[in-house]
C-alpha cells in the first residue's frame, strides 16, 4: 500500500513543529539554512566522470609518460579562460590598497574590513574583502604614503611609480596531508569503558603547527619576456604587456606557481568568503589550481581518447585555419592569427565551453611532477602534491604545466602531453586558471540519463 503524499508531508510538518526533540524521532538538526550552489561568475561546470588519462596519440619527447590509465574525477568548476592581466591586476591593486591601509589605518576602509573569521575568532591584522580606493591625492595621505613609491634616485624621468618590491601578500593555508599523518597526532582522544578496556583515538593537541604562513611578492616578472628569449627583441612586451589597457584581456604571464597559489587564496578568503560572511551565507570550497587529472579531463571536453581539445586528429578546421595559438609549420608564428599571446577568449571553446585549453600560454597545475606518478597515484581524484621549501633541491620544486603555448610545436598542445617547470620560476609563456570543487555529488541529471 502506497503512502499518501499529503499524509507524508503532514508528518514531516508535525515533526518539524516539535522543536529540537521531534517527539523522540531522529529528524536531524533543525533550522539549517537552505543552500544552493551558485555558478561562479566566469566559470563553467565540469561534470564528474571517468576517462583514460595519458597520451592519446604520440608522446612528446622527454615528456616521460609511459602509459595511460582510467581515472575518475568529481564535479568541479573551471575558469572559462586563462586569468587575464586585468583580473590579476585586481589582486595587485588589492595588495597596494592593503599596504596603504596598514600605513594610514582603517579610517579610510570602513565597512570593507573583516575583523573575525568563520569561527568568530579575531583576525589580526584585519583583512579587506573588497577593493577600496585609498585617497592618494590628499596632502596628508601623500606624505604618509611616500615610502610606497620608488625613491627619487631610482625613478625614470622622475615618474612617481609604486615600488613593486613592496607589494607583499601575507596568507595562510592548512597542511591537511601532514595533519592526517598518524605520526603527527599526539593527543589521546580515546575512552575507557566499565571493563577497563581502552579505545585509542588519536588527535592533535595543537593544530596551529599545521597552519602555514607565507609572505610573497605578487607583482609579475615583466622581465620574463626578455630573459626567456635570448637574441630576440621583446622589450616592448616587457614595457607594456602587464599594465597597458591594450593587453587587459590577454593572459597574465610572468607569474610563478607560488604567486598563482597566493592569487587563489586571495580570491577565496579576501573576495568570496569575506563577501559570503558579510551576507550571512556559508563558505564554499576554495579556489585553487587544478590537479593534472582535472586539467586533462576538462581539456578533453568529454571527448575521451581525443588528442586535441576540439577533437579529431588535426590542428586545422575544414577551412584550413589553425585552431590554436602555437608554433605551426617551421616557425611561421603568424599563420595561426597570433604572434605572442592572444586574447583569452580567442578561437573556439571546447565542448565544456573552455577557451585556449591548447596553446596561447601553458598553464600551471597543482600537481608535483614525477616521471612515474601514473604508476602509484590513485585512480579516484588522482593527485600528487608537494610544497617545496626554498632550500629544497630543485627536483622537488617541479610542477606540471599543461596545454602548450605560443612558442611550442603542436605536439605539446595535445591533451595528454606533460611538461614541467620549477615553482619559483616565472615564464612569459606560462599562465594559469582556477578551479573550484563542486559542493555535493554534482548537478541533478534526468532519470532517463542514469
Q: The C-alpha cell of 376 is what?
A: 602509484
pLDDT of residue 6: 57
Rounded-to-5 percentages of helix, strand, coil across the chain: 30, 20, 55
Q: Which of 134, 91, 92 is nearest to 112 (CA)?
A: 134
Pairing of strands 430-431, 362-368: parallel
Residue 220 and residue 259 in contact, taking contact as beta carbons nearer than 8 Å: yes
DSSP string, 379-392: SBS--------TTS
Q: Which of 301, 314, 313 is nearest to 353 (CA)?
A: 301
**pLDDT given at position 158:** 86
- The DSSP code sequence of 198-250 is EE--EE-S-GGGGEEEEEEE-S--TTHHHHTSTT---HHHHHHTTTSGGGTTS
Ordered domains of the chain (ranges, CATH):
48-84+221-443 (3.90.1580.10)
Q: What is this structure's pTM?
A: 0.85
pLDDT of residue 440: 87
* C-alpha separations of 316 from 336, 347, 364 in Å: 9, 11, 26
> Which phi and psi (to 5°) does residue 146 adopt?
-60, -35
Nearest to 258 by CA among 130, 382, 168: 168
Q: DSSP of 149-195, one letter per residue?
A: BPPGGG-STT---B-GGG-EEEEEEE-HHHHH-GGG--EE--EE-TT
* CB 147, CB 141: distance < 8 Å: no
Closest alpha carbon to 325 in 309, 340, 308: 340
Q: Pick the closest to residue 354 from 249, 248, 263, 433 (CA basis).
A: 433
pLDDT string in tens for the chain (450-residue length): 455 555 545 555 555 555 555 678 888 888 887 778 889 999 999 999 999 998 876 655 655 555 788 999 999 999 999 999 999 999 998 898 888 877 776 554 455 566 666 566 676 656 655 445 566 666 766 777 888 888 888 889 888 888 899 999 988 888 888 778 776 676 666 667 776 666 666 666 677 777 888 899 999 999 999 999 989 999 999 999 999 999 999 999 999 999 999 999 999 988 888 788 777 788 889 999 999 999 999 999 999 888 899 987 888 888 888 999 999 878 888 888 899 999 999 999 999 999 999 999 999 999 999 988 888 899 999 999 988 888 889 999 999 999 999 999 988 899 988 899 999 999 999 999 999 999 988 887 544 455
Please work out, in degrees rounded to the nearest 5, the angle formed at the alpha carbon of residue 241 by the alpha carbons of 235 and 247: 145
* CA 374 – CA 366 distance, rounded (Å): 16
CA distance 374 to 54: 9
- CA triplet 54, 56, 59: central angle to 5 degrees? 75
Other beta carbons less than 10 A from residue 35's beta carbon: 11
Q: Is the peptide bond before 366 cis (omega within 30 degrees of 0)?
A: no
Amino acid at each position: 500500500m502506497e503512502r499518501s503524499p499529503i499524509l507524508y508531508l503532514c508528518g514531516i510538518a508535525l515533526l518539524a513543529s516539535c522543536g529540537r526533540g521531534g517527539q523522540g524521532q531522529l529528524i536531524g538538526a533543525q533550522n539549517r539554512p537552505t543552500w544552493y550552489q551558485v555558478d561562479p561568475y566566469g566559470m563553467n561546470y565540469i561534470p564528474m566522470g571517468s576517462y583514460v588519462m595519458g597520451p592519446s596519440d604520440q608522446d612528446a619527447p622527454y615528456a616521460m609518460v609511459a602509459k595511460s590509465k582510467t581515472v575518475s574525477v568529481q564535479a568541479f568548476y573551471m575558469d572559462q579562460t586563462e586569468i587575464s592581466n586585468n583580473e590579476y591586476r585586481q589582486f595587485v591593486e588589492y595588495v597596494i590598497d592593503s599596504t596603504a591601509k596598514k600605513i594610514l589605518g582603517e579610517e579610510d576602509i570602513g565597512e570593507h574590513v573583516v575583523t573575525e573569521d568563520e569561527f568568530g575568532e579575531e583576525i589580526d591584522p584585519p583583512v579587506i574583502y573588497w577593493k577600496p580606493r585609498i585617497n592618494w591625492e590628499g596632502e596628508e595621505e601623500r606624505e604618509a604614503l611616500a615610502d610606497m613609491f620608488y625613491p627619487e634616485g631610482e625613478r625614470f624621468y622622475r615618474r612617481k611609480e609604486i615600488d613593486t618590491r613592496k607589494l607583499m601578500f601575507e596568507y595562510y593555508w592548512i597542511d591537511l596531508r601532514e595533519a592526517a599523518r598518524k605520526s603527527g597526532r599526539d593527543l589521546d582522544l580515546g575512552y575507557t569503558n566499565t571493563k577497563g578496556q581502552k579505545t585509542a583515538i588519536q588527535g592533535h593537541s595543537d593544530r596551529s603547527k599545521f597552519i602555514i604562513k607565507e609572505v610573497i611578492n605578487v607583482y609579475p616578472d615583466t622581465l620574463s619576456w626578455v630573459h626567456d628569449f635570448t637574441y630576440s627583441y621583446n622589450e616592448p612586451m616587457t614595457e607594456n604587456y602587464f599594465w597597458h589597457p591594450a593587453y587587459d584581456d590577454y593572459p597574465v604571464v610572468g607569474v610563478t606557481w607560488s604567486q598563482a597559489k597566493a592569487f587563489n587564496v586571495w580570491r577565496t578568503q579576501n573576495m568570496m568568503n569575506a563577501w559570503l560572511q558579510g551576507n550571512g551565507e556559508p563558505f564554499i570550497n576554495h579556489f585553487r589550481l587544478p590537479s593534472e587529472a582535472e586539467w586533462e579531463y576538462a581539456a578533453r571536453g568529454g571527448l575521451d581518447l581525443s588528442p586535441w581539445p576540439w577533437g579529431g586528429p588535426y590542428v586545422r578546421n575544414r577551412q584550413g585555419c589553425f585552431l590554436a595559438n602555437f608554433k605551426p609549420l617551421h616557425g611561421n608564428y603568424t599563420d595561426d592569427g597570433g604572434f605572442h599571446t592572444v586574447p583569452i577568449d580567442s578561437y573556439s571553446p571546447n565542448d565544456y565551453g573552455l577557451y585556449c585549453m591548447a596553446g596561447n600560454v601553458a598553464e600551471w597545475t597543482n600537481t608535483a611532477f614525477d616521471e612515474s606518478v601514473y604508476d602509484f597515484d590513485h585512480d579516484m581524484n588522482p593527485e600528487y602534491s608537494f610544497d617545496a621549501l626554498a632550500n629544497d633541491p630543485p627536483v622537488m620544486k617541479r610542477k606540471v604545466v599543461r596545454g602548450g603555448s605560443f612558442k611550442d610545436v603542436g605536439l605539446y598542445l595535445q591533451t595528454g602531453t606533460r611538461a614541467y617547470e620549477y615553482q619559483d620560476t616565472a615564464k612569459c609563456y606560462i599562465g594559469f586558471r582556477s578551479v573550484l570543487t563542486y559542493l555535493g555529488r554534482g548537478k541533478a541529471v534526468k532519470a532517463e540519463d542514469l
